[in-house]
């Protein structure tokens, strides 16, 4: 946990979030572990449905409890958030059926109690759809005041609206601040709303900013501006970042380390520049598939882009049905992929891969 003697801001270990939909088990997040150091930037990349959003929602305690997060250890600045939750849920398998037992009410209560001091203050979050993430009933100014007053109740420094908010506002480079303050969220454009969300997130002076695909809904030019804004603000205030996106180029631009997720598991973890920008750095076939598509390749995958949940407890590597590498291997070697699920193995300093045939 304490590498280099520093405490990570966020340390997640073996997080599992399951959902049941019409008696089908969906393992949204199936054993994720990572950590974000102070000043560091971590990215999570993968296609839609790989569980990226659910990971951060589980950490923040904002997801639905059917059953939701069932196990895992989460530490924020060394504080154990999952304290008291050990015996509240268990997973069993009987006759080929999976049974998840969880005391939903107690879990919710305890987790809320544990994470509440950190939400908004140590960790804060920026969401994917900025316009619908702002409440449509109040003006921007009223919403900023609202967030400010709920933060000040935790006995922070005193100050009026002007002193605390306006500098932040100026920093975010709005074209006409007065008009925006008295406007309603539905009157703003996408880029403006996203910057308001950023302002709301930064009001509490957090240590870690979690950004869940903040630029996916924006057009290319606005994306560029917003990303640069993110970068400069983060640098200026020395904030850590947890950035989620399916756009690998963006991820490479912004973060130091990246985790590639596929169907709820991390398949590769390593330095972003090496993995993404220089194509030979990636070792997992999935990463290579993603990069192929992004770099304009034709994507020779036969079952490309199709995530299925067929069979809740299928053996072996989860990626085997789409794996280009496995198709090219001899059946004898491929059998290992079918029978055993690979674990994350370290292949060099800061680089982990989960594949049996990573050397190829």
210-244 burial, b at 16+ Cβ within 10 Å, e below that, comes to bbbbbbebbeeebbeebbebbeebbeeeebbbbbb
Compute φ and ψ for 129, nearest 5 degrees. -105, 100
To another protein, the closest distance from the beta carbon of 211 in angstroms equals: 12
Residue nearer to another protein on the CB measure, 120 or 316: 120
To another protein, the closest distance from the beta carbon of 97 in angstroms equals: 5
To another protein, the closest distance from the beta carbon of 13 in angstroms equals: 22
Residue nearer to another protein on the CB measure, 133 or 320: 133
To another protein, the closest distance from the beta carbon of 318 in angstroms equals: 18
Residue nearer to another protein on the CB measure, 81 or 134: 134
Residue nearer to another protein on the CB measure, 94 or 175: 94
Residue nearer to another protein on the CB measure, 189 or 343: 189
Residue nearer to another protein on the CB measure, 37 or 88: 88
To another protein, the closest distance from the beta carbon of 208 in angstroms equals: 13
To another protein, the closest distance from the beta carbon of 184 in angstroms equals: 4
- Catalog residues that contact another protein under the rule CB under 8 A: 18, 20, 23-25, 57, 60, 62, 65-67, 88, 97-106, 116, 119-120, 124-125, 127, 129, 132-138, 146-147, 150-151, 184, 186, 197, 200-201, 204, 312
């Amino acid at each position: 946990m304490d590498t280099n003697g520093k405490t990570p801001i966020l340390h997640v270990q073996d997080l599992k979030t399951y959902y049941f939909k019409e008696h089908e088990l969906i393992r949204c997040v199936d054993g994720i572990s990572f950590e974000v150091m102070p000043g560091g930037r971590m990215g999570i990349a993968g296609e839609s449905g790989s569980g990226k959003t659910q990971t951060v929602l589980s950490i923040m305690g904002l997801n639905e409890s059917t059953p939701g997060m069932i196990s895992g250890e989460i530490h924020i600045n060394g504080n154990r958030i999952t304290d008291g939750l050990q015996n509240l849920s268990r997973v069993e398998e009987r006759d080929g059926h999976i049974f998840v037992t969880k005391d939903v009410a107690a879990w919710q209560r305890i987790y809320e109690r544990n994470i509440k001091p950190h939400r908004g203050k140590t960790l804060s979050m920026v969401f994917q759809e900025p316009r619908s993430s702002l409440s449509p009933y109040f003006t921007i100014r009223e919403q900023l005041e609202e967030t400010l007053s709920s933060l000040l109740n935790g006995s922070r420094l005193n100050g009026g609206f002007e002193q605390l908010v306006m500098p932040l506002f100026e920093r975010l480079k709005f074209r006409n601040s007065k008009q925006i303050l008295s406007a309603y969220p539905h009157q703003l454009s996408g880029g403006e709303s996203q910057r308001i969300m950023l302002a709301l997130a930064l009001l509490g002076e957090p240590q870690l900013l979690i950004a869940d695909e903040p630029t996916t809904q924006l057009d290319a030019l606005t994306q560029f501006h917003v990303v640069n804004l993110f970068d400069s603000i983060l640098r200026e205030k020395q904030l850590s970042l947890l950035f989620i996106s399916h756009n690998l180029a963006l991820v490479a631009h912004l973060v130091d380390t990246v985790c590639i997720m596929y169907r709820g598991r991390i398949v590769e973890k390593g330095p972003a520049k090496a993995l993404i920008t220089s194509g030979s750095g990636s070792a997992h076939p999935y990463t290579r598939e993603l990069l192929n598509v992004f770099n304009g390749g034709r994507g020779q995958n036969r079952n490309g882009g199709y995530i299925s949940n067929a069979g809740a407890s299928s053996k072996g590597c989860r990626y085997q049905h789409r794996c280009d590498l496995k198709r090219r291997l001899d059946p004898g070697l491929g059998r290992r992929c079918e029978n055993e699920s690979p674990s994350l193995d370290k292949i060099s300093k800061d680089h982990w891969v989960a594949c049996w045939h990573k050397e190829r």
